[in-house]
Every structure is written in structure tokens, then in C-alpha cells.
Structure 1
Amino acid sequence: MQTFLHKIQEKGADMSRTAIYVRQSAERADSVSLETQEQLCRQETAPEDAVTVFCDRGFSGKNTARPGFQAMMQAVRSGQIDRVLVYKLDRISRNLADFTQILRDFQRYGTAFQSHTEHFETASPMGQAMQNMLMVFAELERETICARVRDAAFSRAKRGFDTGGPPPAGFRRVPAVIGGIHTSMLEADAHAADIQAGFAHYCRAEGTVSAVCRLWTDMGFQPVRGKTWATGTVSRMLRNPVYVQADSQVYAYLAKKGAELCVPAELPAQHGVYIYADRRLTSSRLTDLHGMYAICAPHEGLIAPALWLACQEKMDRALPCRRSGTKPRSFLSGLLYCMRCGSAMTPVQGRSAVYLVCSGKKRGICEGAGAVWRLEEAERLVGAVLAARLETLRKTGVIRQQDDRTRSLQKALERTEMRRRMLLQSITEADDADVMRAAAEAAAQMEHTCTKLRQQIAAAGKHEAVNLPEWAEADAGFRCNAAKILLEYVLTDGKTLHTVLR
């Protein structure tokens, strides 16, 4: 992007000081060049005027973060400009709020404003009214263009075309022809084996995101930026279905997470999945896929579906236990409350230990729960109660287990639900009434089949004892999940912990 430039004609002290502002966001055949804009604006000046030209090449008018524009406004505020000339109103701004503020600044510092194309000035009331109306349509035009760009990007992604951006780690971009159109697609690069090793390492019982970071660093596999991997980056990579050799179970998982499926009737073997979303409405963590689209990609994935799903299940179990902010991790988070005011007890790091403090006291609505509890002591006492409860469950054998037939029924249910979603999606895209009617009837039949499968799954399940880990040997994820399932809440009055089981 080219920054601003000044062209100054030195004249006498009694001349009008005029600023010409020109802007071009992109060089296209149908756009007016910066030089042409300047020449047309100079037609509105007198020979004796002192003219300063401020230029912004490669900057959009959606905001005022433009070096040439900022330099011009600084000259206006310092009293160096009497009049501002533009070729067209949308050259100075395409945002109505910004444009209104610009006019206010011009009025405050006694600077006139004139547009060459629209033939009016801010000095007349009609000119002011017309400027406001035109800027409304300029903003509407910009939003329309953005909507067209988003629709075009989604259409390309839906057909498997490349939508730009750097390729994910472990892939490179290569030329390809898809549907007779020249585009590009992903292909495994030299670090594909490192990606596979990272997924396998995380799926181990002792595997963590931090351990994968260390593994890749030790293997010499570095991120695009920096020398070491960040846990947030690795977590998103483990979540990203672009790496999986997707099958029906993978698509069923993505649909369960809220994604809308865009897949062919016959799934190609071992292909990855693109996740497409409007960046204005969604985050990049891939933990909630509502509002996103799961699109069958043309490239071949790197990770077997069973391994990828095992990693997702492990990360889903760890979600309730992840740290928020800088507070210490505890399986009591969200379950421990003050008996006096009902506020949550929150962990606070002290000099030698982590203490539990009433959040109501910090807000000034409570005197506190009484004596201060150490988090370690509270976890030990409540953990003993949960350990006893787990031992009871082991002896009574009330834990529901699935046999091979139940698992087979579950897979059949997932496949049927996925085909039903695809049929419902085809109804919204069909133009022929007969096709829509046939698809609706088939979807209704599949819903009936799903209902029967659910009933068979409920009847096939059986209760039997399983080998639950001992509380003292359980990891943080198991303790969090067990506490969420077994505990209703824990109350404290400073001297006693009152544990209420479900």
C-alpha cells in the first residue's frame, strides 16, 4: 500500500489553501486512477490557490485508518486548510458515521468541503442534505459488495475450491482442476508424519496439548511464526477436521456439534473436511460449530477417523476442566457456594497456598463464609465423599454398558441421521415440486427409522459393573466429570463443608 504524498504549490499569503484528497482501494479497469481524480479536482480550483494533494493508494473507505487522510485531518485541525476537494463523496468515506464526524470536524475548524462529481458544497443546506443521503447509499453499496464476496467464497468452498489463506500445517497448496475449473488444493508435505505423531501422542492416556507442543519442538517441527508451539494453536489443530480421513461417523460428530453438512450422497474415501463460517459471527476454537458448514474437501486427510474421534472425545471431556483466566484449576469449580449469601466460592492464590474466598464478599454483599478454607483441604474432604460414592457404584453395578449389538445400532442411527440431514438440505435447494415432495417423504421415513433405532438402543443397553479408576489415581479430567455428575453442590459456612449428592 502506498502512503500519502504532498504536492504543494507555493503562492502568496492571501490565497485560498485547498486540499485535494484522492483515494483508490484497488487498481481495476473500471476504477478512476489517482492521477485522474487529482486532475478533475484541480478544475474546481483557481490559479492562485495553494493546493496540497493527499493520497491513499490501496486503502478502503470503510474506516479512517488511512495515512493520507489522517495527515489531511491533522492539517485541518492545525488551521492550514481552508477547503477540501474530493472527486467523489465515497472517496473520503463509505461509512455514514465516519462521514458525519468528518463534516463536524470541518465545520468546527472552519473548513469548507466540496465534491467534484456531485456538484455541491457544505455551505448550502441542500448540499448537506444531499451528502447525507448519498453516504447512506454508499454504505449500502459497500455492504452489498461484502455480501457478494461472502456468497462467492461460500459457493467456492461448497464446491471444494480453495478460498485462500495460508495452508494448515502439514499441508502445501498445489494446482488442481476441479469441475473443469483451474484452482488449487491441499496436499501432504514433509511434516505430515509429524502431524500424525502429534495426534497419536495426544490420544495416549498421558497425552496433553502441552506434551504435543514439546514433542513437535523436539522433532524440529516449528510453526510458521516463532520457534515454539502455543497450546492454543495446537488445540485448534487437533480440533480441525481438515486433517481427518472423514467417514460417516466423523460427519455425524460434526453435525452433533452443530455444523450443517454439505457432502455428496456418496462420501469419497479418506477426504478431509473444510469448516466454513462467517468470521463476523463465529470464533476459531471449533468447539461449537453452530452457524458453520462442514464441507467435503477434495484433498486426502492425514488422520484415521477412529484416532481423530478419540482425540475429540478426550478434548470434549477436558472442556469443563480448562482454566478460565488465571484462577487455579479445581474439580470444585462451579459447585462450591457460600452458605451466607449463596455466592460462588472462588480460588485465590495466596503466598503459600490457594484459598477459597466468597465472591459476594469481593462484591461487598457478604461478610464472607467465616474461616478461610484452603483449596487443597476442601478438595481432600469432598474427594473422600466422591471416592466413597464411586466405590458404591462399583459394588452395585449400576453403570450402563453397551455391547457390540448396541454399538452397531448406534452407528446405524448416526448414518441414518446424517442421510436425513442431507435430504432435508436438498429440499431447501430443490426447484422442482416433485423432487421436494419425494425428498420430504424419504426424510419422514428415515425419521421413523431413527425412532425405531433409538428404541432398540434403549432396550439393548444393560447394566453391569465396570472398572472405574480409584479417586486417588484419577486424572483431572475424570475428577471434573465425576464431580459434575455426582455432586449437586457443596456449601460452606467456614467451619463445615456440606456436600449434597445427586
Structure 2
Amino acid sequence: MLNIPKVAQYARFSSDNQRSESIDAQIRAMNQFCKQNHWQVVSTYTDEARSATTDNRPQFQQMIADSGKGLFDIVLVHKLDRFSRDRYDSAIYKKKLKKNHVKLCSVLERMDDSPESIMMEAVLEGMSEYYSKNLAREVMKGMNETALQCKHTGGCPPLGYDLDENRHLVINGQEAQAVRIIFRMFADGYGYTTIIEYLNAHGYKTKRGKMFGKNSLYEILSNEKYTGVFV
């Protein structure tokens, strides 16, 4: 009787310029690969907007746990960097898979047990970690330059401000009234509860149009942008 390998597919995309369509493309390529090799796909695990520089990925952890239940023989990824971009994590989890008699395979990187494949896999893992760390460094460099130009570095602008076409903060007159009240009352010694009750009673809203609470008030009072500091 022919022993058909059982496969668990793992797909992932991070938040850096990728979308959910990336997972669809990965799964499509893996399905085609399994069909060509006459492998049986028994499960698919996906993590969306999760970086491979960390193992804090729910579906990834579930897959590793399931590998010890004899549910599949192979974990298949589109590329090895979908599995991990951290050499330490990669070594740990590949060892766990091996202990559970599960093999890690990649659609684009064909590896076997030869010495050459071991060397090539180490190089690929090193390049993946380099790419991730270098990308983080370049992103931080760009954000620092943006801050030095007194431009907004991302996310929702603080209450009391809007953005112009050059991403400079410009005062929103209506929202600014709430900001002035907050800092004036806080400077006069009023506590969070009193300030919140006053703002909500007079119809003021947060930047997202919600009623004020302790968290939203803390974010405003601790935001350095109100002192002219760009971070």
C-alpha cells in the first residue's frame, strides 16, 4: 500500500507592505506543490499581520503543538522565512518538529539531508534575519528623518491637530478647545475623574469621536507632541 505523506501547510504575512492576498498566493503555491508530489494536505495554519521575528503567533504555536499528535508528517511553507526569521527560534522549532518525526519543507527552497543543504539552509536563515533587522533599521532611519522635519510619523494625529498635504500638524480649532481645557484643569489640580466628567458633560469627544475615559485622557497628557517634541 502506498504511504502518502500528510501535510500541514503554514502561511503567514507580516504588516510590512503585505496584505491578506499574500496568504492566498502562498496556499495556492503549496497546494500545487502537494499535488505534484502526491502529498495529502490535512490542515492549514495561517497567521495574519504577524512578524516571523517572534514566535508569538497563535496558529504557528498550534501547529507546533499539533505536530506531536501524529496528525501530519510534513510542515510545508512557501519559503523558509514564512516559518521564522530568527535563527534561534528556527533551530528550536525545527528541533521540536524533528522530535515529533515531522519534516519541514519549502516550496521554493528544495532541501534534503545532504551537507550542502544544511549549509544552504543556514545561509538562507541568516539572510532572512539580516533582511528583517536591516528593514527595521531603515524604517527607523526614515521615521527619524520625518520627525526631524517636524512631520507626523504615522498613525492618528493627536486630538487638536489635523494633517496638511505635507504631513505637518495643523491646529483643529474645535478640538483644540478640549485640549486646552484638559491641560488647564490638570494644571489647576483637578483629577482625571473630574476632568472626564466635565468633558463628557459638555459634549467634547476624543479624536475617534468617543466619550473620554482615563486611557484617552492619559494619552493626551503624556503625549510629547503637545510640547513641540517629535518622536
3-state DSSP of counterpart to 1:84: strand
1: CA distance between counterparts of 2:18 and 2:95?
Answer: 35
- 1:21 and 2:1 are equivalent in the alignment: no
Q: Give 1:136's aligned amino acid.
A: G
2: CA distance between counterparts of 1:63 and 1:27?
Answer: 15
Query: Do the aligned partners of residues 107 and 125 (structure 1) sit closer, same or farther apart at CA in structure 2, a change above 3 Å counting?
Result: farther
1: CA distance between counterparts of 2:147 and 2:87?
Answer: 32
Give % identity: 21
Query: Per-residue CA shift, 1:87-126, capped at 9, x if unaligned?
Result: 11101111111111111111101111222222113x3343
**TM alignment of 1:196-215, pairs within 5 A:** 196-202=183-189, 211-215=190-194
2: CA distance between counterparts of 1:163 and 1:28?
Answer: 16
In the other structure, the counterpart of 1:243 is 226
Work out whether residues 201 and 212 of structure 1, in 8 Å CA contact, stay in contact via their aligned partners in 2.
Answer: no
Query: Per-residue CA shift, 1:403-461, capped at 9, x if unaligned?
Result: xxxxxxxxxxxxxxxxxxxxxxxxxxxxxxxxxxxxxxxxxxxxxxxxxxxxxxxxxxx
- Which moved further from structure 2: 19-28 or 217-226? 217-226
2: CA distance between counterparts of 1:140 and 1:147?
Answer: 10
Structure 2 counterpart of 1:138, from 128, 149, 166: 128
- Offset at 1:191? 0.5
Query: Per-residue CA shift, 1:166-221, capped at 9, x if unaligned?
Result: 444xx3342313xxx3x25242514033124225414xxxxxxxx33244134235
- Offset at 1:43? 4.5
Work out whether residues 176 and 184 of structure 1, in 8 Å CA contact, stay in contact via their aligned partners in 2.
Answer: yes
Query: Per-residue CA shift, 1:46-93, capped at 9, x if unaligned?
Result: 564321332223222121222332232222121111112211110111
Could you state the TM-score of these two structures normalised by the residue count of structure 1?
Answer: 0.38
In the other structure, the counterpart of 1:195 is 182
Structure 2 portions without partners, runs of 5+: none
How many residue pairs align between the two structures?
219
- 1:217 and 2:196 are equivalent in the alignment: yes
Q: Give 1:274's aligned amino acid.
A: V
Query: Do the aligned partners of residues 119 and 192 (structure 1) sit closer, same or farther apart at CA in structure 2, a change above 3 Å counting?
Result: same
The higher radius of gyration belongs to 1
Work out whether residues 223 and 229 of structure 1, in 8 Å CA contact, stay in contact via their aligned partners in 2.
Answer: no
3-state DSSP of counterpart to 1:191: helix
Query: Do the aligned partners of residues 31 and 124 (structure 1) sit closer, same or farther apart at CA in structure 2, a change above 3 Å counting?
Result: farther
In the other structure, the counterpart of 1:69 is 60
Q: Give 2:169's aligned amino acid.
A: M
Could you state the TM-score of these two structures normalised by the residue count of structure 2?
Answer: 0.77
**TM alignment of 1:300-379, pairs within 5 A:** none
3-state DSSP of counterpart to 1:15: coil
Structure 1 counterpart of 2:142, from 148, 152, 161: 152
Q: Give 2:185's aligned amino acid.
A: G
Greater helix share, structure number: 2
Query: Do the aligned partners of residues 198 and 40 (structure 1) sit closer, same or farther apart at CA in structure 2, a change above 3 Å counting?
Result: same
Between 1 and 2, higher relative CO (CA 8 Å, sep ≥ 6) is seen in 2
Work out whether residues 53 and 85 of structure 2, in 8 Å CA contact, stay in contact via their aligned partners in 1.
Answer: yes
3-state DSSP of counterpart to 1:110: coil
- Which moved further from structure 2: 185-194 or 37-46? 37-46
3-state DSSP of counterpart to 1:53: strand
RMSD between aligned residues: 3.4
Work out whether residues 160 and 179 of structure 2, in 8 Å CA contact, stay in contact via their aligned partners in 1.
Answer: no
3-state DSSP of counterpart to 2:75: strand
Greater strand share, structure number: 1
Query: Do the aligned partners of residues 213 and 39 (structure 1) sit closer, same or farther apart at CA in structure 2, a change above 3 Å counting?
Result: closer
Moved over 6 A (4+): 29-32
**TM alignment of 1:58-137, pairs within 5 A:** 58-121=49-112, 123-137=113-127
